[in-house]
Amino acid sequence: MTAEFWITQTFNGLSYGALLFLLASGLSLIFGVMRIVNLAHGSYFLLGGYVGLSVIWRTQSFALALLAGALAVALVGAGMERLFLRRLSGQTLGQVLMTIGFALIFQDLALLLWGGDPYSLPVPAALQGVVIVGALRFPRYRLFIMAVAVVIGAALWLALDRTRAGAMIRAAVDDAEMAQGVGIRVPTISLGVFALGAALAALGGVIGSGFLGVYPGLDFEILPYAFVVVIVGGLGSLPGAMVGSLLVGLLDNFGKALFPELAYFTLFAPMALILALRPTGLFGRT
Amino acid sequence: MTNGATPSSDRPPTARAGLAAPATTIIPGIITAAGVALVAPLLSAYPLTLLTQAAIVAILAMSLDVLLGYTGLPSLGHAAYFGVAAYAVGILSTDYQRGFLTCLLAGVLLAALTAAVFGLLAIRASGTYFLMITLALGMVVWGLAFRWVSMTKGDNGIAGVPRPELPLPWSLGAPLPFFYFTLAATLLAWALLGLLVRSPFGLTLMGIRESETRMRALGYHVWLHKYLAFVLSGTFAGFAGVFWAYYNGFVSPVDVQLVTSVETLLMVALGGPGTLAGPALGAAAIVFLKNFVSVYTKRWLLILGAVYIGVILFAPRGVLGAFRREPRR
Amino acid sequence: MTEPFALRLQAVSKSFGGLRAVDGVELAVRPGERRALIGPNGAGKTTLFNLIAGALPVSAGRITLFGDDVTGMAQHRRAARGLARTFQITNLFPTLTVLDNARLAALARTPARFAMLRPVRHFADLEARAREALAAVGLADRADTRVRHLSHGEQRQIEIALALAGRPRLLLLDEPAAGLSQAEAQLMTALLHRLDPAITLLIIEHDMDIALQVADHVTVLHYGRVIADGTREAVKADPTVREIYLGA
């Protein structure tokens, strides 16, 4: 194991963590406001990837693909929340079954529309290739992902911390009933947060398709990662999602590199341990 | 105020849904089982296969209901115990050529052990956190099944699990004797679980479902009762997993994946939590639906997804709380 | 009995964040005593009950039950020492029958609670104890009704029945007459009078009339502190108490 190995793997882990942050921050916010365990969140990632792919085929524009993927899936998420999930408020089991139902439907629709072949999203030339630092080679695309995650993370943090809407979201996360009581329109907040969470996941999906590819089954493959991030970080906590994403990205990468046979075990077992010590996650309120 | 469980208060949905098992399900249950057993010889191989599958999955659904319907704990990782036992059978019967009894014991014990370890982590949490933790623990098992290739053969799965050879006049390789064999196992599980939920211990589980704070005030060590329920439930899921491995002849990560756990939840929700016959029927309904629909259309995932949503939307009372509207006495 | 106190609290305090809900409470209840705990809303009465029962941990102080230190002891182990309680907000098993509610109360702390392979209805002694507790509160004929179908008054009586079924030595009653009509409250008072005199009673009651009818001794709690303690006559005459209650 050379220093090169450690640096490269750390880089890969952090960039994967950055991608996970896009996926998991939305899941965490959605849970924070609505206490919904959304099993369709991986589907947003998948759908985002496919929509982005179709757009890029027609327009050759990566930027348009990002925008269209995020917007389309935001609409899907908003529709799910407004028409279906809202009426199940407080019914944990009903929500779980409902969201898994949607996940199955999305999976099948994606198969119907885009077929079963795996695709890779064409990446703009500017993001291809590697940056060479001494003996080390860093793929530009992974650097791009990290940059996007930093920008999105900072924007989310600023929005939550500094804006009126952010203050209302935080109030709803703290205590939805209380927030409703002081005149915050929690249903509107819920709708917005759900759409935002779906959009972030879809953004992750478009970007992720550039190096993971997009294929049937990606939704249920990526979903557990989002859950582990949120569980480790603490439900409803943005800093938790950040730290959780990086931790999970690193654990996953080093797990796969060092103990390939136990890769998922090295991911999930530390999570179980954290839960045993802190049942509400690292940043969750007790 | 730490307590607030008035009869009309907003209790968790799992708790609201279930009720004490009406004893009346025993007779219809026996009649159904006897009817199916009588009809079975007239059936061709395919429906017989489905019946066998339904019988095994019914055990899994009933085992989950001990947690969900009776204790009020929504486990989202129940496939783990089912799958651990199936893998034990798969590995022991192929790589080590062990017989039925060894495999049965090993499978059930391993499932119980897994539940005993996972329970230590999960039982501390409640509500949504319990759901998330059981989901994550289930993923641990899935991860091992998927990646621990030297043991589990990874994504390829373990093929060629032979049917059990027992000193019986009929070979269990044939569909009909194997169906009777699994039906006997289902009836045994039903009887044992039926006794369990009607026993004093079963009553304490329903008490926990209704009000943990009251149970504590009465002097119960609530954690211990939940933990025992968790382990017992996992043990019976393992019992189902043993038969599943023999039935399929094949064990793969699919058996321990999240979707399998959620499907089991759907079966319980569909049949009515808090009864045993309900989830068993729910299991049969889903097995038949999945198989029949997939014969006629490739779009069966779409339809299954719609079933999930339809059950929740259109029958939340009738299905999630099938026995809620009992007449006022 | 050599132990002079059924229940003894020494400098018991409980803080929630910065708020001291219970502040250095001293309390000594003799066996067989009927003690009322009164005080205005927010005085810390229910919190004090939760501390005694073990539903909440104390922040400081010492709790002794029949001579044994139970300060750090889990709730179910305190119950095993003969402590039972009722809840201010009715806390029963709503979808179970009245008889099953009473059965659960009688079953607690018996080895049969772990019996798994015999139907509960085959446990005759259990049923007898359950029915006895129901008879004690006059609800024997409602045994097969589901608890949520009972009237509020009946549910309050079941609260008492569940506490009695465990055959407690010390019974904590949290506003047993909460939400009852005048007639129902009288029934409740009569029921409390009928209780086995060997049972030590600690009763929170908002209604001074009921409190003073049932109790021989009274402790007054105000902002988490004991401000008066004594026979009911002495407490009634206490000027501070009169100030708080009569709004002088």
pLDDT attached to residue A66: 94
CB-CB contact of B282 with B271 (8 Å)? yes
> Across the interface, do C162 and B2 touch by the CB < 8 Å criterion?
no
pLDDT for the residue numbered C248: 42
Express each pLDDT in A84-119 by its tens digit: 888 887 777 888 889 999 999 999 999 999 988 999
Which burial class, exposed, middle or buried, applies to A9 when counting CB atoms under 10 A from its CB (0-12, 13-18, 19+)? middle
For chain B, which ranges sit under pLDDT 50?
1-22, 318, 320-329
- Calculate how close chain B gets to A120, using CA atoms only, in Å: 23
Strands C225-231 and C217-222: antiparallel
Q: Sheet harboring C7-16: ordered strands across?
A: C19-29, C7-16, C60-65, C68-69
| d(C-alpha A23, C-alpha A197), whole Å | 8
**Predicted pLDDT at A285:** 65
The dihedral through the CA atoms of B144, B147, B151, B154 has a sign that is positive
Nearest to A92 among B74, B124, B313 (CB): B74
Closest chain C residue to the Cα of B18, Cα to Cα: C95
Per the rule left: phi > 0, alpha: psi between -120 and 50, beta: everything else, B97 is left
* Calpha distance B116→B114 (Å, rounded): 5
Which residues does A133 contact at the CB level (< 8 Å), separation at least 6?
none
CA distance B25 to B23: 5
Residue type, B293: V
Count CB atoms within 10 A of the CB of residue C48.
28
CB A244 within 8 A of CB A233: yes
**Minimal CA separation from A279 to chain B, in Å:** 7
User: Can you read off the two tokens belonging to residue B291?
Assistant: 């198989």
CA distance B31 to B27: 6
Residue entry with tokens 């703009």? A124
CA–CA gap between residue A47 and residue A23 (Å, rounded): 13
Calculate mean pLDDT across residues C203-209: 82
Q: Quote the percentage of chain C above a pLDDT of 70.
A: 98
Mean of the per-residue pLDDT values for chain C? 88
Segments in chain A below pLDDT 50 = none
Strand bridging mode C68-69 / C60-65: antiparallel
Instruction: Identify the DSSP state of B138.
Output: H
> Is B88:B151 a contact under the CB 8 Å cutoff?
no
The CB-side HSE value for A82 (13 A sphere, CA atoms) comes to 11
Contact of B213 with chain C, judged by CB distance below 8 Å, is answered with yes
E-strand ranges in B248-302 read 250-251
Q: Decide the pairing of beta strands A136-139 and C83-85.
A: unpaired
Option in B13, B140, B320 nearest A265 (CB): B140
Q: CB-based contact (8 Å) between B219 and chain C?
A: yes
Cα separation, C131 vs C144, in Å, equals 11
Q: What is the ipTM of this complex?
A: 0.87
Helix (H) or strand (E) holding A55: helix A41-59
Query: C37 with B198: CB under 8 angstroms?
Result: no
Distance CA C94, CA B7 (A): 5
For residue C80, the chain B residue with the least C-alpha distance is B219
**Alpha carbon B4 to chain centroid, angstroms:** 31
Residue A88: which of B148, B302, B312 has the nearest Cβ?
Answer: B312
Give the neighbours of chain B: at least 3 Cβ pairs within 8 Å.
A, C
The Cβ-side half-sphere exposure at A209, using a 13 Å CA radius, reads 32
d(CA A162, CA A167) in angstroms, rounded, equals: 7
Of C89, C160, A182, C126, give the one whose Cα is nearest residue B211.
C89
Region C148-157: mean pLDDT is: 91
Task: Tell which residue, B32, B75, B63, B101, has the closest CA to residue B261.
Answer: B75
The reported pLDDT for the residue numbered A62 is 92
- The distance of B177 to chain A (nearest Cα, Å) reads 35
Phi-psi sector, B249: left (phi>0), alpha (psi -120 to 50), beta: left
Which residues from chain A sit within 8 angstroms of residue B133, using beta carbons?
231, 272, 275, 279
Rounded to the nearest 5°, which phi and psi values hold at B320?
A: -70, -30
The answer on pLDDT for C73 being more than 80 is yes
Q: How far apart are CA A152 and CA A131, in angstroms?
A: 23
The amino acid present at B72, given as its one-letter code, is G
User: CB-based contacts of A53: which residues, under 8 Å, 6+ apart?
Assistant: A65, A114, A119, A121, A209, A214
| Side-chain half-sphere CA neighbours of C231 within 13 A | 2
In angstroms, rounded to a whole number, what is the distance separating the alpha carbons of residues B21 and B69? 10
- Min Cα distance B178 → chain A (Å) is 32
Which residues, 6+ apart, have CB-to-CB distance to A134 below 8 Å? none
The stretches of B66-126 forming alpha helices (DSSP H) are: 79-94, 100-122
Q: Are A283 and A233 in contact (CB under 8 A)?
A: yes
B64 touches chain A (CB under 8 A): no
Beta bridge partners of A119: A214
- Position C12 scores a pLDDT of 92
At A42, list the tokens. 């991986």
- Do the chains contact at B206 and C93, CB–CB below 8 Å? yes
Chain B residues within an 8 Å CB radius of C100: 20, 203, 206
Which long-range contacts link B147-151 to residues 24+ away (Cβ below 8 Å)? B147/A260, B147/A261, B147/A262, B147/A263, B147/A264, B147/A265, B148/A261, B148/A262, B148/A265, B149/A261, B150/A261, B151/B91
Q: CA-CA distances (angstroms) from residue A132 to A3, A129, A255?
A: 16, 10, 26
- Site from C103, C109, C113, C151 to mutate, B interface, most B CB atoms within 10 angstroms: C113
Alpha-carbon span C229 to C35, nearest angstrom: 10
The per-type count for chain B, helices as H runs and strands as E runs, is 14, 2
Question: What single letter denotes the amino acid at residue C44?
Answer: G
pLDDT score at B277: 86
What pLDDT sits at residue B10? Answer: 36
Q: Which residue has the tokens 């009946």?
A: C154
Predicted pLDDT of residue A208: 93
CA distance A254 to A270: 13
Contact state of A269 with B306 under an 8 Å Cβ cutoff: no
Whether C97 sits inside 8 A of B20 (CB atoms) is yes
pLDDT at res. B3: 38
- Contact state of A101 with B307 under an 8 Å Cβ cutoff: yes
- Residue-wise pLDDT for B103-128, tens only, equals 999 999 999 999 999 999 889 887 77
